[in-house]
Amino acid sequence: MSPRARLSDRLAAVPLRTTLALALVSLAGLGLLVSGLAVTSLMRNVLLGRLDQSLYDAAHGWAQPGLTRPEPLPTPPGKRERPAQLLYVRVVDSSGNLVLHLDVGSTEPDVPADLGHHPITVGSIGDGGEQWRIMRTTNQYGTSTVGLRLDETKGILDRLILLQAVIGALVLAALAVVARLVIRRSLKPLGEVERTAAAIAGGDLHQRVPVRGNDTEVDHLSQSLNTMLTQIQQAFAATEASEEGARRSEAKMRRFIADASHELRTPLTTIKGFSELYRQGAITEPGMLMNRIESESKRMSLLVEDLLMLARLDAQRPVERRPVDLLALASDAVHNARAQAAVQNPDAEPRPIDLEIRSGAGTLEIAGDEARLRQILGNLVSNALVHTPPDAAVTVRLTPSEQEVLIEVSDTGPGLEQEQAERVFERFYRTDSSRSRVSGGTGLGLSIVQALVTAHDGAVSVASTPGAGTTFSVCLPRTGQSGTLAP
């Protein structure tokens, strides 16, 4: 791995808070450094300008060549007089004779031979480390060289640099602390995002990132994450529901196939048994044999028709919708039930089977398939006749409303237990298996009712109390939107 790659990996491992704080402090430090350099340079130029002015005043004043008695000129008002011992002066006449020489301590400036008329900075003669600011003036009387030591100027600049360094360090330290606190507070929502993500990774898809309601980048991120989490949760829920639905459908199909096979096997076994007896010559009354075979054949035919009906319902084909008068269908169902009850018990008193019409908004007309609606009423009434004693009353009740029509088929029979009521719409479910088989029932009547009602966008339910009777309620909308019935 190259050094650049290793450095990049190390930088990537630094926490974001530390990276932001270091970046902020570094930028501030760079700004302070540039500012300090600018201030120091400006101060140096100002101090050197003052020294140069002092040198110029001396070189063109009392220290200029040609004066018989060099004396310092009067100090201008408002200016502090500089001590004479700090000023280096060397004046020679035009013949090269020394006219005036003023020393400053034990060192002298290292004056270059090509010194011009503008001030420059030079060192000291020998091992001295002092620096000087000197300039030279020449006229017809000679040459004057003046200089000032830079100790004071250097001291001022050193103190200025030290002061800036101390102040800069304090400012950077305070900035680092404040930046750390501000960045930590600003990135606190990201910590909540991290904790929420960890909870979601643990399987809790109901977690959401808190949104503070501020128009910030973190809030925008939180809202986007919450939207994404909602979509993910919905996708998971849909997947789970689909898988659960597939499992239920598969289990239901297996149970349906097993029940259908069992129901078909019973009449086939009976027919096969009678045929075998007839072949062996064990039947002395062929008429009775043919009646039994015909009865089992009818039962098997009815079962196959019901199975085909359920298969068409499961195919989810559109239902035919035309105006249907439920009052006429209910009246026909009641008359058919009375005739059926009279045939079943010709010697008994007429069974009380009544039709009630309750007042309500609207008429008893809906949009639907007349044949299938007739089958709904017929199955419910037949179910009441089969599963109740001969003296139990059966009532068909119609109640119109503004948006729907309620059909109720109630009886005064023994009623159903709660477990039976919960399973009464299951395919091939029988509350009394022996009696249902004798009466020719297939156990599919109420399942067909439920499927037909659903195809008409309605709902069917059952309410039963043991010993007090049972009521089946069918709620049908006046205008359905969809259907799942084959023609």
Per-residue pLDDT of 268-284, as tens digits, reads: 777 777 777 777 776 66
Higher pLDDT, 80 or 237: 237
| pLDDT value at residue 441 | 58
**pLDDT band at 484; cut points 50, 70, 90:** very low
| pLDDT value at residue 94 | 81
Which H helix or E strand runs over 356?
Answer: strand 353-357
Higher pLDDT, 249 or 392: 392
Question: pLDDT above 90 covers what percent of the chain?
Answer: 17
Residue 169 in contact with residue 29, Cβ under 8 Å?
no
Q: What residue ranges in 10-119 does DSSP mark as E strands?
A: 87-93, 98-102
Higher pLDDT, 115 or 474: 474
* Burial of residue 303 (number of CB atoms within 10 Å: 0-12, 13-18, 19+): buried
Residue 411 in contact with residue 462, Cβ under 8 Å?
no
- Of 55, 57, 60, 58, whose CA–CA distance to 141 is shortest? 60
**What letter represents residue 90's amino acid?**
R
Kindly provide the b/e burial profile for residues 72-108, where b requires at least 16 CB atoms within 10 angstroms of the residue's own CB: eeeeeeeeeeeeeeebbbbbbeeeeeebbebebeebb
Centre a 10 Å sphere on the Cβ of residue 20 and count the other Cβ atoms it contains: 17
| pLDDT value at residue 191 | 76
C-alpha separations of 126 from 186, 194, 227 in Å: 62, 70, 81
Region 131-145: mean pLDDT is 86
CA–CA separation, 147 vs 133, rounded Å? Answer: 5
| pLDDT value at residue 480 | 56
Residue 481 in contact with residue 457, Cβ under 8 Å?
yes
pLDDT in tens, 22-33: 888 899 999 999
- Mean model confidence pLDDT for the chain: 80
CA–CA separation, 76 vs 223, rounded Å? Answer: 75
| pLDDT value at residue 42 | 93
**pLDDT band at 208; cut points 50, 70, 90:** confident
pLDDT in tens, 438-463: 454 567 788 888 888 988 889 999 99
CA–CA separation, 262 vs 210, rounded Å? Answer: 58
pLDDT at 12 over 60: yes
- Domains parsed from the chain with CATH numbers: 11-73+80-173 (no CATH), 202-315 (1.10.287.130), 318-487 (3.30.565.10)
pLDDT in tens, 315-355: 666 678 889 999 999 999 999 888 888 887 777 788 898 99
Kindly provide the b/e burial profile for residues 125-161, where b requires at least 16 CB atoms within 10 angstroms of the residue's own CB: eeeeebbbbbbbbeeeebbbbbbbbbeebeeebeebe
Centre a 10 Å sphere on the Cβ of residue 212 and count the other Cβ atoms it contains: 12
**pLDDT band at 313; cut points 50, 70, 90:** low
Higher pLDDT, 14 or 458: 458
